[in-house]
Amino acid sequence: MILLDGRKVADDLKAKLALDVVEFEKAYHRKPCLKVIIVGNDPASMVYVKSKHMACQKVGMGSEIINLDSNVTQANLENEIQKLNNDNNVDGILVQLPVPKHIDLTAVLKTIDPKKDADGLTFLSAGYLWSDFEHVQPCTPSGVIKILDFYNIPLKGKRAVVIGRSQIVGKPMAALLLKKNATVTIAHSGTENLRHVVQDAEVVVVAAGKMSFFGSEYFNKNHVVVDVGIHKDLNGKLGGDVKFDEVSAVVKAITPVPGGVGPMTIACLLENTIKLARMRMAKA
C-alpha cells in the first residue's frame, strides 16, 4: 500500500512558493497578501483560519485575519469585502465557511472580486473552471490533483468516482479530474448501490462528510483512495470519511487523515493568492 502523504507534497509546494514570494517582492516591492474574513468564533473555523495565517507567514506572504462579530449584518460584511476589493495591496480574499445562517452566502460570493478569489469559489471562477479558462482552482480539489500527480497516479483514461457533489469539493473535483482526462462519475446521497458504482474505478475521491462511514466493503486492491473528509471524534481524535485502518489494508494507495488533503488545501490557497497577485500586477 502506498501512503499518499499530503504533508510532504504540501511542504514541497510551500518551499517553491517561498521562492515565488521572493521573486514577486523583487518585482513589485511588496509581498502577496491574503485577507481572511471570519464571521463569529466557531472553534474549528478559528483553527483553520489561524493555520492559513501561519502558513502565509511561513512562506513570507502578507496575511491578516479579519474577525467580524457573529451578528454582523449582511451590509457590513459586504462592505468589508468591498474595502478589500478596492485595496490594491490585497491580492486574495477568503471568507471562511460556514457563515452564520442569517448571512446570504450567494450575495457574499457575488461580492468578492473574482480577480481576488483566493478560494476559487465565486460563480465566475466556477464558470471558468468548467470552461477550461485559465484562472485559480478551488483549493481542496486542486490539492487532491497535486497529491495524485506527485505520486504519479495515472488519471488519463482511468475511471474516477467522486463521492459528494458540493460546490466546494465534489463538483470542482469532478471538473479537475475531467481536465486530467479521467472518466468521471459523481456519486451522491441519492446514488443507488454505491458499492457497485465504486467497484470498477481506479481512483475514488471520498467527500461525503460522514465520519468513518466507508469501510473495506467498498474498496479493493485496484483502488487509489483520497479521503477529503475531516472529523473529530468524541476523544478529539481526527479522522476522515474512510475507516483508514481497515481500508488501507486492502487498497493500492490512500491518503491519511490528518496529513492528507488538509495540508494541501492550505498550500493551494497560498498558491492561488500568489497566482492572483501576479495576474493582477501583470495587468496593472
Retrieve residue 254's grid coordinates.
490512500
CB of 92 or CB of 170, closer to ligand NAD: 170
Nearest partner of 46 among 62, 67, 77, 76, judged by Cα: 67
Report the distance separating Cα 38 and Cα 95, nearest Å.
6
* Alpha helices by DSSP H, 163-228: 170-179, 194-199
CB neighbour class for 53 (10 Å; exposed up to 12, middle 13-18, buried from 19):
middle
Q: Confirm or reject binding of residue 210 to ligand NAD (CB under 6 A).
A: yes
Q: Please check whether residue 110 is in contact with residue 118, taking contact to mean a CB–CB distance below 8 angstroms.
A: no
Q: Which stretch binds ligand NAD (CB under 6 A): 49-57, 126-134, 164-172, 215-223?
A: 164-172
Site string (187-206) toward ligand NAD, x via CB under 6 A: xxx-x--x------------
Q: What single letter denotes the amino acid at residue 96?
A: Q
Site string (249-268) toward ligand NAD, x via CB under 6 A: ------------xx--x---
Report the distance separating Cα 213 and Cα 242, nearest Å.
6
Q: Confirm or reject binding of residue 220 to ligand NAD (CB under 6 A).
A: no
For the bound state, the minimum distance from the C-beta of residue 206 to ligand NAD, rounded and expressed in Å, comes to 8
Q: Which of 31, 35, 52, 171 is labelled catalytic?
A: 52
Q: What single letter denotes the amino acid at residue 219?
A: F
Of the residues 166, 183, 199, 216, which one makes contact with ligand NAD according to CB under 6 A: 166
Q: Confirm or reject binding of residue 7 to ligand NAD (CB under 6 A).
A: no
Question: Is 221 known to be catalytic?
Answer: no
Question: Is 96 known to be catalytic?
Answer: yes
Q: Which residues are catalytic?
A: 52, 96, 119
